[in-house]
A and B are shown apart, each in its own frame.
Chain A
Amino acid sequence: MAESILAVCPTAITEGADAVRRTRDDCLIARRPYLDQLEAAARSLAGWPVGAALANLEERWYDDTGRLAERLTDLAGRLDEAAAAYQAAERSSTQRFREFR
């Protein structure tokens, strides 16, 4: 067990969590022009069945990308917690080792 704790690099986990958050932010930025244009196209086709379909599509993409962003936020948080746990275990082991010496 001690071996696996020592083999883990908490910094890399934190970097992974940061990468997950960056991906989330980039996703939210990437969706914006598409959603804005879906809305504009839906407006220009107001009264057409297909205009309503575009408005519905915009709503669905907004919701779905939002849920994905929430999942990425949650995932990054779990990774931060894992990194913190490994760092705490490492500090504790170091402390015990010093006391033992």
Chain B
Amino acid sequence: MTVTFAMVRDVDLAPLAVLVERSVEFGRRCAALQATYENEAIGRLAGSGLPPAALPPADAGLDRPDDTFEYYARQQASAAAVLGTLHSRLSELQARAWSIVDDARAAGLAVSGHGEIWGDGVGGDEVGGDEVGGGDVGGGEPPTGLRKRIDRLLAEANRLGDDQLVHCGPTGQGEVDDFVWLRVRDTAQLAGAPLGVTAAAIPPDDHPAAARAWWAGLTAAQRDLFLAAFPDRTGALDGLPAADRDRANRLALRIAHADSELACDPRAAHRSQELIDRLEAAGPPLLLLDVDNRTADGIAVVAVGDPDSARHQAVIVPGVDSTVDRMAGELDRAARLRAAADALTPAVADDVSVVAWLGYDAPEQNASALGGERADQGATRLTRFVDTMEQTAPGHVTVVGHSYGSTVVGVAAAHDGLRVDDIITAGSPGMRVHDVGQLGLDPRHVWAGAARGDDVSGWLSHFAHGPEPHADGFGANRFHVDTVGHSAYWDPGSVSLANQAAIVVGQYDRVRLDHGRAPSTVDA
């Protein structure tokens, strides 16, 4: 099958132009179907009490169709780009064909439907009836430039193949496996390259404001392609909107999961699967702001509620033995704190976001928990995270340090210039400072809680991380804690949780104190 000159010249590109729009629409509808399926089908079944063992088997499992819809949506983003590029390329070839016709006509020649140049004394005997151009022609050979242009045009038209379209298709099974996400990324890279969607175009990760401006200057289609083509880079790029980072990081997580399986690393594969399952579970909306499955315990930063639109933002920094495998527990705490804080501001719904920040390599239950090395590393990263949040979505920011997480917070505040409105510690083994004055914050905005039976807050601090922040002499406010043990500070209905929620929304007069002096309520 050969593309002729007439086919290039007369091709009707309108259907292809409409197809680009239909592809975008279909992608959007698939994304909507993914959300509908998760909210309505999975959501209802989660509330049905149906035991997991009674659910349909994995080959027709509940978590697959929404993955398939997500795959469709992401593939359509690439397909629309490929089709758009194809349309541009065909338009350009068609314009060149007509330019050849015009130039031939100016030279008194005509070009046949098969690309033959015809005129008085020029061309073959048989040119068909579809020649265009023509006129009074002098004899002799046609201009060699014209011949070369036609030959080049037809060669290009015939080379315009299906290389990229092949990648834009579905799996053929009506379902997806763990490895299709690699294909999503690769297809987006292929589709995006002609549109300037390249790794080199992504700005360095050190100027959040510049990154945000760059992002705002892209088209929606380019953004979709960047997120899919370079999910690890865009997902980690400070300054980008949380919702976009979430989309990139979810894909990066799936790709990391596939890589772990390919590398036969069961621990990493288990860790990523746990996080994927938690992110997809029914419940409040979660945004994956950062993820890295390559480190020993993994890195994950997940927001409950959108920090970009929230007036009150809290960041919970977990402590010893925190790993991505156990992220579900951190997210439950964040969700409870968010719900309790949001309930205190009924006039505005969803104006609180709480981030479970496992953005550092938390120590294990060994000597690493007694040293400051992990706190130093974590403090730098925490300060950067909070700085970025403050630049891109200014609000009332509270950092909550649990256990060794409070040590991280202490180092960040004392040495890295952590800028927050309030600091809360819960079950702290010490903040590696002598007293509240070293934290660089009005002492009335530093709040410490310690529960009965919490073995961490007490014995460690005397020889490892300095005085306990809840102790009288430290100088912070001690909020009342009615829970018992090291891990119950966010138990539903507890005074401990209610106190923290009040601090997060700046309703300080609601905080029940054991000692100290609360600032006046600034924001209700």
Contact = CB atoms under 8 A, between A and B. Distances in A.
Contact of B168 (A12, A31, A57): A57
B145 interface: no
Interface size class of A (residues with CB under 8 A): 35 or more
A59 B29 CA distance: 20
A44 B13 contact: yes
Contact of A7 (B15, B49, B72): B49
Contacts of B487: none
A49 B29 contact: no
A50 B49 contact: no
B23 A68 contact: no
B230 to A, nearest CB: 25
A67 B62 CA distance: 15
B464 interface: no
A15 B45 CA distance: 8
Contacts of A50: 86, 160-162, 165
Interface string A7-31: 1111011011001101100110011
Interface residues of B, number: 56
B20 to A, nearest CB: 9
What is the interface of chain B mostly: helix, strand, loop, or mixed? helix
Contacts of A34: 19, 22-23, 25-26
Interface string A29-50: 0110110111011011101111
B162 A56 contact: yes
Nearest to B62: A75
A78 interface: yes
B171 to A, nearest CB: 7
Contacts of B25: 33-34
A88 interface: no
A57 B22 CA distance: 14
Contacts of B175: 67-68, 71
B65 A44 contact: no
Given A47-B1, A49-B162, A60-B169, A13 B45 contact: yes
Contacts of B3: 47-49
Most buried by A among B72, B157, B172, B174: B174
A66 B173 CA distance: 9
Nearest to B41: A19
B51 interface: yes
Interface in B10-40: 11-16, 18-19, 22-23, 25-26, 29-30, 33, 36-37, 40
A9 B49 contact: yes
B182 interface: no
Nearest to B17: A41
Contact of A71 (B50, B166, B174): B174
A49 to B, nearest CB: 5
Contacts of B65: 20, 23, 68, 71-72, 75
Given A9-B49, A13-B50, A47-B1, A23 B40 contact: yes
Most buried by A among B18, B19, B72, B174: B19
A49 B16 contact: no
A43 B522 CA distance: 66
Nearest to B37: A23
B368 interface: no
B366 interface: no
A26 B33 contact: yes
Nearest to A36: B22
Given A13-B45, A37-B15, A82-B50, A53 B60 contact: no
Given A9-B47, A13-B50, A49-B158, A57 B165 contact: yes
Contact of B45 (A12, A33, A52, A57): A12
B60 A71 contact: yes
Contacts of B174: 63-71
Contacts of A79: 45, 56
A53 B165 contact: yes
Interface in B66-101: 68-69, 72, 86
Contacts of A60: 169-170, 172
Nearest to A10: B48
Interface string B150-183: 0000000110111001101111111100000000
B16 A23 contact: no
Contacts of B48: 8-10, 12-13, 16
Q: What are the 4 closest A-B residue pairs judged by CB atoms, nearest first? A: A67-B174, A53-B162, A12-B48, A64-B170
6 contacts: A48-B3, A49-B162, A50-B162, A56-B169, A61-B169, A78-B56
Given A8-B49, A47-B1, 4 more contacts: A9-B48, A36-B22, A57-B169, A63-B170
Interface of B: 1, 3-4, 7, 11-16, 18-19, 22-23, 25-26, 29-30, 33, 36-37, 40-42, 44-45, 47-51, 54, 56, 60, 62, 64-65, 68-69, 72, 86, 157-158, 160-162, 165-166, 168-175
